[in-house]
Amino acid sequence: MKHRMILSVVLGMLVFTGCRKYLEQVPDSTWTDLSTPEKVSRLLGTAYPKSSYITFCEAMSDNVADKGTGAIERVNQDPFFFNDVQNDKEDSPEAYWHACYKAIAAANQALQACDKAGNTAAYSRQRGEALVARAYAHFMLVSFFSKFYDAATAASDPGIPYVTEPETVVFKKYERKTVAYVYEMIEKDLLEGLPLISDDAYAVPRYHFNRAAAYAFATRYYLFKKDYTRVLQYANLVFPNNDIATNMRPWNTTYARMSPAQLWDVYSRASENANLLLSETASIYGRYLGRYRYGLDYAHEINILTFNVTGGRWVYPVYYYGNQDYFVPKLTEYFVKASVNAEIGDPYVMTPLFTTEEVLFNRAEANVYLGNTSAVLQDLNLFASKRINNYAASQHTLTTAKIRSYYGIDDVKGALIQTILDCKRAEFIQEGMRWFDLQRYKLPVTHTTVTGQTIVLTPDDKRRVLQLPQSVISSGIELNPR
């Protein structure tokens, strides 16, 4: 039977890691003394979105249900009903929008400092990180606030402003241009920055775009663009020694012996090999992820986290606070006091932005479309060997025949894609990643309330594109249609 326990968890246990120093202390993006490469590096600590997309992504996905009871917050409730979120605080789309552009501003300021430096070669590492960080923030923005990339329509679909210079005026006018243009600019920054990235630029590389993380980003970018040959190219560079197995989370071995407190402590650590890039995000998600009214319930837990195509059971431990408050202990809150003796402060969640497992899935999916079926099966069986409870190759090895039979799909490619999507759904449960797959494959999402109301998000529904903040109107940017 799946391991289930009732936890009597107090808030203090959820935030027990609150005093740990997760990131180097960095100034904000208005800091102007950038006279050395080291100071530019410190500025680049702010070139990553300090806000989380997980809450609204998870609530829009098919991972959640109306539990009838639980914490009601607009950042969870509005996305469940596919409404524009009426909140601009942490975990909202508007907060994420502003966090991304703040990160972009820091990257642009760092790039300006690199360009003005007398010895530009000494700043090459910083330039590489700034370019890739700028590309990443724009990539996430266009993925949420524009139609998802489709080569057939990208040249006409409105994009988001691609900002390449530090702002020097208030209320500067910006153009959205097109999704195709934004993707071109992302690729330009990414390809220019990748060769400059250096792993020895920082004491703790997992908090910055190190080589593995930058290549992982490239696999996601090219997967979304459907350039599958490039996906393989960069996936192989993430782990050039082909040691991907030793860098995966040990869910059915080491993790299986851990308590929730231990899992919360280790899941987002920089020392966890699976974490390729981590970011500190202002968020209350760690406090409410199992308690939100619209979240994982028993039916979804059984459907997503129990039986699967291997014939075995997923090993992910599922706990609950009460009748319907289900969660997998991954992301927790840490609380930063306003001062040493203060009673107040701010909640944060350390979020894995790129992981070994995503690279594995991206590689497998690319191989499906390139016709490399044996390579796909090799990756899927590697994943299963680390995720199935009491794994036995004789019982749980995947074959095309087994996969086709399980899903009732004759087409091998279609069956393999369904397998990958289901494995990803289980792996990244309560991390918001499912939303990207729903968008990429234009899958409908149906939410049903406890009163019987049904809300359907069709593939062409305008609400699949998040609304821009009302505040952008002053910058001359047109809002998304509703």
Following DSSP, what letter does each residue of 16-42 receive, concatenated?
A: TTTTS--S-----TT-----SHHHHHH
The pLDDT of 82-88, averaged and rounded, is 96
Confidence of residue 475 (pLDDT cuts 50, 70, 90): confident
Cα angle 282, 287, 291 (rounded to 5 degrees) comes to: 135
Model confidence band, residue 4 (pLDDT cutoffs 50, 70, 90): very low
Task: Supply angle C-alpha 14, 15, 18, rounded to 5.
Answer: 160
User: What percentage of the chain exceeds 90 in pLDDT?
Assistant: 83
What type of residue sits at position 103? Answer: A
Half-sphere exposure of 419 (CA within 13 A, CB side): 32
- Is the pLDDT assigned to residue 2 strictly greater than 90? no
Residue 436, both tokens: 């990207």
The answer to whether the CB of 256 falls within 8 A of the CB of 315 is yes
Weakest-pLDDT range from 55-59, 231-235, 340-344, 431-435: 340-344
Asked which of 78-82, 197-201, 247-251, 283-287 is least confident by mean pLDDT, the reply is 197-201
Q: Which of 24-38, 150-164, 373-387 has the lowest mean pLDDT?
A: 24-38
CA distance 443 to 459: 6
Pick the CATH number of 28-475 from 3.40.50.1220, 1.25.40.390, 1.10.3720.10, 1.10.110.30: 1.25.40.390
pLDDT above 90 (res 264): yes
Strand bridging mode 326-327 / 318-320? antiparallel
pLDDT above 90: residue 200:
no
Per-range mean pLDDT, top range of 15-19, 194-198, 343-347: 194-198
User: Does residue 37 register a pLDDT over 60?
Assistant: yes
- The answer for residues whose C-beta is within 8 angstroms of residue 408's C-beta and 6 or more apart is none
Tell me the pLDDT band of 358, cut-offs 50, 70 and 90: very high
Res. 18 pLDDT band, cuts 50 70 90 = very low
Asked if residue 201 has pLDDT above 80, the reply is no
pLDDT of 6 strictly over 60? no
Which percentage of the chain shows pLDDT scores above 70?
92
**Would you place residue 119 in the very low, low, confident or very high pLDDT band (cuts 50, 70, 90)?**
confident
- Which residues share a beta bridge with 318? 4
User: Residue range 140-149: average pLDDT?
Assistant: 98
Element holding 156 (H helix, E strand): none
State the pLDDT at residue 118: 77
Residue 333: pLDDT above 80?
yes
Q: Is pLDDT larger for residue 472 or for residue 124? A: 124
Q: Give the predicted TM-score (pTM) of the model.
A: 0.92
Mapped onto helix, strand or coil, the DSSP state of residue 181 is: helix
Rg of the chain in Å (alpha carbons): 22
- The average pLDDT across 15-32 equals 38
**Amino acid present at 43:** L
Residue 16 pLDDT > 70, yes or no?
A: no
Cα–Cα distance list, 410 to 375, 389, 416, 421 (Å): 20, 28, 11, 17
320 strand-pairing partners: 6, 326
Element (H, E) at 294: strand 294-295
Q: pLDDT tens digits for 295-320?
A: 999 999 999 999 999 999 999 999 99
Using DSSP's 3-state secondary structure scheme, residue 87 falls into coil
CA distance 172 to 161: 11
pLDDT at residue 169 greater than cutoff 50: yes
Checking if the pLDDT of 270 tops 70, the result is yes
Average pLDDT over residues 358-382: 98
93 three-state secondary structure = helix
Contact 334, 199 (CB under 8 A): no
**What is residue 32's predicted lDDT score, i.e. its pLDDT?**
66
318 contact partners, CB below 8 Å, separation of at least 6: 2, 3, 4, 301, 305, 326, 327, 328
| pLDDT at 23 (0 to 100) | 29
Report the C-alpha gap between 39 and 80 in whole angstroms.
Answer: 43
Identify the band that residue 45 occupies on the pLDDT scale cut at 50, 70 and 90: very high
Rounded to the nearest angstrom, the gap between the alpha carbon of residue 62 and the centroid of all alpha carbons in its chain is: 16
Q: Give the C-alpha separation, 301 to 323, whole Å.
A: 13
What's the whole-number mean pLDDT along residues 368-380? 98
Stretch 102-122: mean pLDDT, rounded? Answer: 93
Instruction: Provide the pLDDT for residue 407.
Output: 98
The larger pLDDT score, comparing residue 243 to residue 1, is at: 243
Angle, helices 373-385 vs 412-427, to 10°: value is 30
The residue behind tokens 């998040």 is 466
Distance between start and end Cα atoms, the chain: 46
Phi, psi of 89 (to 5 degrees): -85, -170
Residue 14 has pLDDT above 60, yes or no: no
d(CA 143, CA 224): 9
Question: Across residues 339-348, what is the average pLDDT?
Answer: 84
Is residue 79 predicted with pLDDT exceeding 60?
Answer: yes
Q: pLDDT tens for residues 182-192?
A: 999 999 999 99
Residue 436 pLDDT > 90? yes
In the numeric block, the tokens 């740990």 are attached to 20
**pLDDT-based confidence at residue 323 (cuts at 50, 70, 90):** confident
pLDDT tens digits for 276-291? 999 999 999 999 999 9
> What's the mean pLDDT when you consider all of the chain?
91
pLDDT for 344? 86
Q: Where are the alpha helices (DSSP H) in 335-475?
A: 356-369, 373-385, 393-396, 400-407, 412-427, 434-440
Mean of the pLDDT values across residues 343-372?
96
170 pLDDT tier (thresholds 50, 70, 90): low
In the prediction, which pLDDT does 56 show? 98
